[in-house]
Amino acid sequence: MDKPVTSAPIQMKFSRYEKVVIGILGFLQFTVILDFMIISPLGAIVMPSLHISPQQFGLAVSSYAFSAGVSGFLAAGFADRFDRKRLLLFFYFGFMLGTLLCALATTYPLLLLARIVTGLFGGVIGSVVFAITTDLFPLEMRGRVMGVISTAFAASQVLGLPAGLYLTSHWDWHAPFLAIIAVGVPAGVIIMLFLRPVIGHLALKQEHSALMHLINTITEPRYRLAFFLVMLLPTGGYMLMPFGTAYIVNNVGLTFAVLPVIYLVTGVSAIFVGPLVGKASDRFGKFPMFCVGSIVTLIMVPIWTHIGHVPLATVIVINVILFAGIFSRMIPSQALISAIPEPAKRGAFNAVSASLQQFAGGVSAAVAGWLIVQRPDGSLAHFDWLGYVVMAISLLTFALMYQVHKQVSEAARK
Is residue 376 in some structural domain?
yes
Cβ partners under 8 Å of residue 260, min gap 6: 161, 162, 165, 166
- Residue 382 forms part of a structural domain: yes
CA dist., res. 271 & res. 320, Å (int): 11
Non-local (6+) Cβ contacts of 320 within 8 A are 265, 266, 269, 270
Can you give the C-alpha Rg of the chain in angstroms? 20
In a domain, 10, yes or no: no
Distance between terminal CA atoms of the chain? 11
Q: What is the CATH number of the domain that holds 81?
A: 1.20.1250.20
Residue 129, SS3 per DSSP: helix
* 3 within a domain of the structure (yes/no): no
Q: Any bridge partners for residue 373, and if so which?
A: 381
Domain-embedded: residue 118: yes
Q: pLDDT value at position 143?
A: 82
Helix (H, G, I), strand (E, B) or coil at 309: coil
Question: Phi/psi of residue 380, each to 5°?
Answer: -100, 130
Predicted pLDDT of residue 208: 63
Task: Provide the residue range defining the domain that includes 335.
Answer: 16-413
Is residue 1 assigned to a domain?
A: no
Q: Over its length of 414 residues, how does the chain's per-residue pLDDT go in tens digits? A: 554 433 334 446 788 888 888 888 888 888 887 777 677 667 667 777 787 777 787 777 778 877 887 888 787 777 777 788 998 999 999 999 999 998 888 888 898 899 999 988 987 888 888 888 888 888 788 888 888 887 776 677 666 667 777 777 778 778 888 888 888 888 888 888 888 888 877 776 666 677 787 788 888 888 888 998 988 887 777 788 778 888 898 889 898 788 878 878 887 888 888 888 888 888 888 899 999 999 999 999 999 999 888 999 999 999 899 988 888 888 898 888 888 888 778 778 888 887 887 778 778 877 888 888 888 887 888 888 888 999 999 999 988 999 988 888 776 666
Is the whole model's pTM more than 0.75, yes or no? no
Collapsing DSSP states into helix, strand and coil, what is residue 41?
A: coil
Cβ-proximal residues to 248 (8 Å cutoff; 6+ apart), any chain:
254, 259, 262, 315
Q: What is the pLDDT of residue 414?
A: 64
Residue 10 confidence (pLDDT): 42
Give the whole-angstrom CA distance, residue 338 versus residue 318. 31
In the prediction, which pLDDT does 7 show?
34
Judge contact between 227 and 356, C-beta under 8 A: yes
- Total domains present in the chain: 1
pLDDT at 3 (0 to 100): 46
In a domain, 7, yes or no: no
Residue 308 Cα distances to 38, 88, 370, 376, 389, angstroms: 25, 44, 22, 18, 19
Closest C-alpha among 309, 303, 319 to residue 251? 309
**Residue 88, in any domain of the structure:** yes
